[in-house]
């Protein structure tokens, strides 16, 4: 063992003595020796700020500070911000302002803010941004973080109630601005994320990964690893042969590579040891002999004649002949004829570069086996239920003996929405080692796991009639899939199917092909599959409108679909508030006054989008509810809501509590939500495809309403009044002129009906087009969004500053307006960041250019534009209270709106993401050359 010396320092006002090794960082000592797990680890090496703590009052990076260096100094962690009278004003302000989504970056953020406020009690907005510029947040777009610091620095007392304002339309909770019930735990560092879990005798696992993009595994010898002291178990791909995949039709993955590695970073073996350092040494000691194979890194190469095959056989052992893993063609109407007759046709090639989720929390799983052979896996997952199923399948276990628990999840964005190697490996190694095993991805491993936004190449044509109507859209899409299917079957459809609103098409044709390449598998990133085609559509629409002399907003209005419309591919839009969205961004940006009067090199751009509120059908065919909720009451007047949903920071638990409060009058303060635990909660399919508010919200509404009915009947009987004489408000019901606290009403209900537990379930609503593939992209409801972006272009360097984005989003009904605003702001940020900064790029040998948070740049608070989020409510008949999605749709328009604004500013048309200064400058020159030619 490493020699340790005693270190003495003061942490949160208390002197501690702790034995440390020379190589221990302050972060490791705080988290793993002192149990102060509120200090987070995000990037390994000083790029993200999640590990920020105060040393002698100054915020510093604990991961870049040797523990020895703080001897006798005073360290403050998030646990030390609260006083004896509870959370500090700053912590409560973060809660009240809605600044806490996943919460993972927030302890560091709050410590930076705390240091700022001690020096500048009334900071300016610029001072706040400067002080927080080293703390990356992936959820919030920083908007509510700035608001939270401003609130903390102001005088008014903070709210003590959950509800901060009136509810909507005579309701009692739905529509009310409210704090999130789980926010203060995140603000104080009390929330437990996967890596905060430590179990007795727990070992640490490490997965050894391939250095080759494509190679045959000749041999693996784990012997040298097992020979090391403190190493408990090892495994290879040969130990788990059963294939899996999130889509049941395309199970092309194994836990670890078997025979062939297909991308740099693919797992080949794993070890468990007494600590992570030992496990890393052991993993490095494993001997793997590879025979390198030629790799294909681009779809163009992969589709060329004679290209090496990423998969020579499919999962059933059938030989494959090419690298096309899915090929979809659909045509609606006579596109060729419509294009021939169009007044203007814009056509060309567009390229959407890939991007990754970069949630600040790295994936982590902790697996343990009970004495009776039951497996429990804690994992930072968005899909507890699917993980449950796949664990049982691959490990060949009775599903009834497997339990998956999603603890607090530190951001996901689609990056944690399928099973990953670490969950299987932790479970397998834990069985083999006879002790619990934790596996925590390094940041580089998070990049290898990927499942991020697919790069797509488009050959795209759009034709407008003389009156500005979209006569035809023709899109040929090549989707760069990476080495495995992931959600690829769905992605291939989404790349075409989700494009047909809120702008209606006269005719439409798309061909979409997803191609295997020797890179990490792409998958669903926020706005799965449909963010990419928005880019050619909305920029081509702009070009076409310009050619016709039409205002960009006006052309979108003319083509806007309305409530009850059916898209050309057969999707019914219950509600579609795109017109109001356009009106709102037009007014807020003062478009009419400013569009033709912008200063040089400054421009405005508009774009729209539509997105699903969940997929109509479950991933695996079944007739059971897609989401179930149980509400049970106890005699204290408290309700517990059980739901299989995964709270990933988006606010699903708060939403469930608000819905149940609405239906029962029981205040949110008295509602506990138990979520994402497959043993305790009824099934929900998971937090993906923006399904939770509509589906779990509806299930909760039913369960809450059933309990509400029982309460009504019991109180009416008790008070001797008719059912219509019973009214409810939050905390108190009324009957016969008398108030009854909800706790008393629950006692009456339990007395009358017996033990109180009610259920609700969302069942599939049959929707979609009547053709093969017509259900993929079909959803119970569709959101609509419009953005206006304002940019300033430096014509000498090509540097673009996105100054502001106005985003109006139709979410049907905002059950929690603060949470909806947060989703809009975070979506806008993420779209902006991938448009301007993020590049998912590889070297010729298949190595990612920079799989870390310094080389892969996500926007800081200083880069992020001012974001003005506007909620539009066009209630949908299929949503609870009319609610639709808000978490993904608002991302889409950011990218084309920025591109259109750059065009407006300087004439440069960008058809290649991201919009680097190099590309912008080249586009400026191309535009100038074109203008010269025309003269």
Partner 1 sequence: MMRLPEVRVHVPASLAEAVALHSRHPGALYLAGGTDLIPNLKHRLYDTSDLISLSRILPVGVAVADGEVSLGAGSLLVDLIEDPALRTHLPALAEALALVAGPLHRNRATLGGNVMLDTRCLYYNQTPAWRAALGHCLKKDGDFCHVIGSGKRCVAARANDSAPLLMALDAQLDFLTAAGPLVVPIRRLYAIDGRFPGHCHTPPSALLTGIRVPAPRGLRRATYRKVRRRAAIDFPQLGVAVALEQDEVGRTASLVVVLGALMPEPRLVKQLDFALGRGLDDTVIDRVAAVAAEQAHPQESIHGSSDWRKEVTAVETRRALHSLRVPIGR
Contacts of partner 1 in 617-676 (CB under 8 A) = none
Residue 572 touches partner 1, criterion: CB under 8 A:
no
Torsion, CA 534, CA 538, CA 540, CA 541, rounded to 10: 140
Give me the least distance between CB of 750 and partner 1, in Å please: 49
Contacts of partner 1 in 218-257 (CB under 8 A) = none
Residue 601 touches partner 1, criterion: CB under 8 A:
no
Residue 64 touches partner 1, criterion: CB under 8 A:
yes
Q: Can you tell me which of 523, 851, 882, 893 binds partner 1, judged by CB under 8 A?
A: 851
- Asked if residues 48 and 136 have their Cβ atoms less than 8 Å apart, the reply is yes
Cis (ω within 30 of 0) for the bond into 337? Answer: no
Residue 50 touches partner 1, criterion: CB under 8 A:
no
Residue 59 touches partner 1, criterion: CB under 8 A:
yes
Give me the least distance between CB of 295 and partner 1, in Å please: 12
Q: Tabulate helix, strand, coil % of the chain (nearest 5).
A: 30, 25, 45
**Inter-CA distances, 336 with 328, 477, 499, 537, 666, Å:** 19, 17, 19, 17, 59
Residue 443 touches partner 1, criterion: CB under 8 A:
yes
- Piece of the chain touching partner 1 by CB under 8 A; list 59-67, 296-304, 535-543, 777-785: 59-67
Give me the least distance between CB of 253 and partner 1, in Å please: 21
Contacts of partner 1 in 178-217 (CB under 8 A) = 209, 211-212
**Tokens describing residue 460:** 């795209």
Contacts of partner 1 in 688-727 (CB under 8 A) = none
Judging by beta carbons within 10 Å of its beta carbon (0-12, 13-18, 19+), is residue 424 exposed, middle or buried? buried
Q: Can you tell me which of 9, 11, 12, 25 binds partner 1, judged by CB under 8 A?
A: 25
Question: x/- contact string, 107-146, with partner 1 (CB under 8 A)?
Answer: -----x-----------------xxxxxx-----------
Residue 291 touches partner 1, criterion: CB under 8 A:
no
Give me the least distance between CB of 443 and partner 1, in Å please: 8
Q: Quote the radius of gyration of the chain (alpha carbons, Å).
A: 27
Q: Can you tell me which of 4, 15, 19, 22 binds partner 1, judged by CB under 8 A?
A: 22
**Tokens describing residue 517:** 């390449």
Q: Can you tell me which of 95, 253, 276, 790 binds partner 1, judged by CB under 8 A?
A: 276
* Alpha-carbon span 575 to 572, nearest angstrom: 9
Residue 888 touches partner 1, criterion: CB under 8 A:
no
* Alpha-carbon span 631 to 672, nearest angstrom: 10
Alpha carbon 749 to its chain's center: 40
Residue 860 touches partner 1, criterion: CB under 8 A:
yes
- Piece of the chain touching partner 1 by CB under 8 A; list 23-31, 378-386, 450-458, 493-501: 23-31
Give me the least distance between CB of 795 and partner 1, in Å please: 10
Q: Tokens 């095993």, residue?
A: 437
Q: Can you tell me which of 154, 201, 843, 930 binds partner 1, judged by CB under 8 A?
A: 843
Give me the least distance between CB of 616 and partner 1, in Å please: 40
Pairing state between β 866-872 and 800-810: parallel
- Piece of the chain touching partner 1 by CB under 8 A; list 44-52, 480-488, 563-571, 750-758: 44-52
Which string of DSSP letters, residue by residue, matches 614-662?
S-SS-SS--SS-SEEEEEEE-TTS-EEEEE----SSS-HHHHHHHHHHH
Residue 862 touches partner 1, criterion: CB under 8 A:
yes
Q: Can you tell me which of 854, 926, 929, 931 binds partner 1, judged by CB under 8 A?
A: 854
Question: x/- contact string, 496-535, with partner 1 (CB under 8 A)?
Answer: ----------------------------------------
Q: Can you tell me which of 12, 39, 52, 615 binds partner 1, judged by CB under 8 A?
A: 52
* Alpha-carbon span 635 to 850, nearest angstrom: 56
Residue 304 touches partner 1, criterion: CB under 8 A:
no
Give me the least distance between CB of 26 and partner 1, in Å please: 10
Given the complex with partner 1, which of 533 and 831 has the nearer CB atom?
831
Residue 847 touches partner 1, criterion: CB under 8 A:
yes
Residue 28 touches partner 1, criterion: CB under 8 A:
yes
3-class state of residue 893 by DSSP: coil
List CB contacts of 671: < 8 A, sequence separation 6 or more. 181, 638, 639, 640, 641, 657, 660, 661
* Alpha-carbon span 726 to 732, nearest angstrom: 11
Q: Can you tell me which of 38, 49, 237, 482 binds partner 1, judged by CB under 8 A?
A: 49
Q: Can you tell me which of 152, 217, 264, 427 binds partner 1, judged by CB under 8 A?
A: 264
| Angle of helix 531-548 versus helix 488-497 axis, rounded to 10 | 20
Which string of DSSP letters, residue by residue, matches 714-761?
HHHHHHT--GGGEEEETTEEEETTEEEEHHHHHHHHHHHHSS-EEEEE
Q: What angle do CA 65, 66, 67 make, to 5 degrees?
A: 110
* Alpha-carbon span 825 to 820, nearest angstrom: 9
Nearest in space to 530 (alpha carbons), one of 508, 501, 550: 501
**Inter-CA distances, 788 with 18, 530, 544, 629, 900, Å:** 55, 19, 18, 39, 9
**Inter-CA distances, 170 with 731, 732, 795, Å:** 16, 16, 53
Residue 439 touches partner 1, criterion: CB under 8 A:
no
Helices (H) and strands (E) in the chain, counts: 24, 31
Q: Can you tell me which of 18, 34, 228, 277 binds partner 1, judged by CB under 8 A?
A: 277
Contacts of partner 1 in 352-371 (CB under 8 A) = 362
* Alpha-carbon span 84 to 91, nearest angstrom: 14
Residue 440 touches partner 1, criterion: CB under 8 A:
yes
Q: How many residues bind partner 1 (CB under 8 A)?
A: 66
Residue 462 touches partner 1, criterion: CB under 8 A:
no
Q: Can you tell me which of 384, 442, 575, 589 binds partner 1, judged by CB under 8 A?
A: 442
- Piece of the chain touching partner 1 by CB under 8 A; list 541-549, 689-697, 740-748, 845-853: 845-853
Residue 866 touches partner 1, criterion: CB under 8 A:
no
Given the complex with partner 1, which of 126 and 932 has the nearer CB atom?
126
Q: Can you tell me which of 11, 44, 704, 745 binds partner 1, judged by CB under 8 A?
A: 44
DSSP annotation of 534: H
Given the complex with partner 1, which of 863 and 888 has the nearer CB atom?
863
* Alpha-carbon span 129 to 866, nearest angstrom: 12
Residue 46 touches partner 1, criterion: CB under 8 A:
yes
DSSP annotation of 105: S
Neighbours of 3 (CB within 10 A): 7
Pairing state between β 5-11 and 260-261: unpaired
Residue 918 touches partner 1, criterion: CB under 8 A:
yes
Q: Can you tell me which of 92, 363, 701, 857 binds partner 1, judged by CB under 8 A?
A: 857
List CB contacts of 785: < 8 A, sequence separation 6 or more. 578, 581, 608, 609, 610, 611, 807, 808, 809, 810, 889, 890, 892, 893
Give me the least distance between CB of 181 and partner 1, in Å please: 30
Residues near partner 1 (CB under 8 A)? 2, 21-25, 27-28, 41, 44-47, 49, 52, 58-61, 63-66, 68-69, 112, 130-135, 209, 211-212, 264, 276-277, 280, 362, 440, 442-444, 796-798, 837, 843, 845, 847, 849-852, 854-855, 857, 859-863, 917-918, 921
């Amino acid at each position: 063992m490493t020699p340790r010396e005693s270190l003495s320092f003061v942490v949160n006002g208390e002197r501690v003595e702790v034995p440390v090794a020379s190589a221990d960082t302050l972060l490791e000592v705080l988290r793993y020796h002192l149990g102060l797990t509120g200090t987070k680890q995000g990037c390994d090496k000083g790029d993200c700020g999640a590990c920020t703590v105060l040393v002698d009052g100054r915020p510093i990076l604990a991961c870049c500070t040797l523990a020895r260096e703080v001897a006798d100094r005073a360290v403050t962690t998030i646990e030390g911000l609260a006083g004896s009278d509870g959370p500090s004003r700053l912590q409560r302000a973060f809660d009240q302002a809605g600044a806490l989504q996943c919460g993972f970056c927030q302890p560091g953020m709050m410590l930076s803010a705390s240091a700022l406020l001690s020096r500048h009690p009334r900071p300016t907005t610029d001072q706040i941004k400067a002080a927080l510029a080293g703390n990356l947040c992936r959820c919030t777009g920083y908007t509510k973080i700035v608001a939270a610091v401003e609130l903390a620095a102001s005088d008014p007392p903070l709210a003590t109630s959950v509800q901060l304002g009136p509810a909507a339309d005579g309701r009692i909770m739905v529509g009310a601005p409210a704090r999130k019930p789980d926010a203060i735990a995140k603000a104080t560092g009390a929330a437990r994320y996967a890596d905060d879990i430590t179990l007795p005798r727990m070992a640490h696992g490490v997965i050894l990964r391939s250095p080759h993009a494509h190679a045959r595994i000749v041999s693996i010898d784990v012997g040298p690893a097992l020979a090391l002291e403190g190493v408990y178990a090892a495994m290879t791909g040969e130990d788990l042969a059963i294939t899996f995949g999130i889509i049941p039709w395309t199970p092309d993955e194994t836990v670890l590579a078997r025979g062939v590695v297909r991308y740099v970073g693919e797992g080949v073996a794993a070890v468990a040891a007494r600590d992570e350092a030992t496990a890393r040494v052991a993993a490095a000691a494993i001997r793997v002999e590879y025979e390198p194979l030629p790799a294909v890194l681009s779809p163009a190469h992969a589709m060329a004649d004679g290209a090496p095959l990423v998969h020579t056989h499919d999962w059933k052992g059938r030989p494959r002949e090419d690298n096309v893993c899915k090929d979809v063609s659909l045509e609606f109407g006579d596109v060729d004829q419509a294009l021939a007759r169009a007044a203007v046709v814009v056509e060309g090639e567009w390229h959407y570069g890939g991007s990754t989720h970069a949630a600040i929390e790295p994936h982590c799983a902790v697996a343990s086996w009970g004495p009776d052979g039951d497996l429990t896996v804690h994992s930072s997952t968005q899909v507890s239920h699917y993980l449950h199923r796949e664990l049982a399948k691959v490990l060949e276990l009775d599903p009834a003996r497997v339990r998956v628990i999603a603890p607090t999840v530190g951001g996901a964005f689609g990056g944690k929405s399928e099973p990953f190697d670490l969950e299987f490996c932790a479970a397998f190694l834990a069985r083999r080692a006879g002790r619990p095993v934790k596996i925590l991805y390094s940041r580089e491993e998070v990049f290898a796991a990927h499942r991020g936004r697919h790069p797509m190449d488009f050959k795209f044509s759009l034709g407008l009639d003389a009156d500005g109507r979209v006569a035809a859209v023709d899109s040929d899409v090549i989707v760069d899939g990476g080495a495995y299917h992931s959600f690829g079957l769905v992605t291939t459809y989404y790349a075409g199917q989700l494009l047909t609103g809120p702008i209606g098409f006269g005719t439409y044709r798309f061909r979409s092909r997803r191609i295997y390449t020797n890179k990490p598998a792409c998958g669903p990133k926020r706005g799965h599959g449909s963010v990419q085609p928005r880019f050619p559509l909305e920029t081509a629409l702009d070009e076409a409108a310009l050619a016709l002399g039409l205002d960009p907003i006006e052309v979108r209005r003319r083509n806007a679909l309305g409530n009850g419309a059916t898209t050309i591919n057969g999707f019914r839009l219950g509600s579609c508030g795109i017109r109001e969205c356009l009106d709102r961004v037009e007014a807020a940006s003062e478009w009419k006054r400013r569009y033709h009067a912008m200063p040089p090199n400054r421009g405005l751009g508009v774009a729209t989008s539509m997105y699903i509120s969940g997929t109509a059908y479950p991933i695996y065919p079944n007739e059971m509810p897609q989401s179930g909720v149980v509400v049970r009451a106890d005699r204290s007047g408290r309700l517990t809501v059980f739901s299989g949903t995964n709270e990933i920071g988006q606010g699903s638990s708060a939403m469930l509590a608000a819905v149940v409060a609405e239906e029962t009058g029981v205040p949110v303060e008295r509602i506990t939500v138990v979520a994402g635990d497959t043993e305790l909660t009824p099934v929900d399919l998971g937090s993906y495809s923006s399904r939770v508010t509509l589906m779990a919200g509806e299930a909760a509404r039913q369960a809450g309403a059933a309990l509400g009915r029982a309460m009504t009947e019991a109180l009416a009987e008790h008070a001797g009044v008719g059912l219509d004489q019973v009214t409810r408000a939050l905390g108190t019901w009324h009957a016969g002129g008398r108030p009854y606290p909800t706790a008393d009403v629950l006692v009456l209900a339990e007395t009358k009906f017996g033990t109180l537990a009610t259920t609700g379930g969302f069942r599939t609503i049959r929707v979609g087009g009547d053709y093969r593939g017509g259900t993929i992209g079909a959803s119970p409801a569709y959101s609509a969004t419009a953005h206006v972006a304002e940019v300033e272009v430096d014509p000498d360097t090509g540097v673009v500053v996105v100054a502001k984005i106005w985003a109006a989003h139709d979410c049907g009904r905002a059950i929690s307006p603060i949470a909806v605003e947060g989703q809009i702001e975070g979506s806008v940020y993420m779209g902006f960041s991938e448009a301007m900064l993020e590049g998912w790029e590889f070297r010729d040998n298949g190595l990612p250019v920079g799989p870390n948070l310094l080389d892969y740049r996500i926007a800081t608070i200083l880069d992020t534009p001012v974001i003005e989020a506007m909620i539009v409510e066009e209630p949908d008949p299929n949503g609870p209270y009319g609610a639709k999605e808000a978490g993904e749709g608002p991302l889409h328009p950011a990218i084309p709106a920025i591109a259109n604004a750059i065009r407006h500013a300087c004439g440069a048309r960008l058809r290649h993401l991201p919009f680097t200064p190099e590309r912008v400058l080249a586009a400026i020159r191309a535009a100038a050359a074109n203008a010269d030619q025309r003269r």
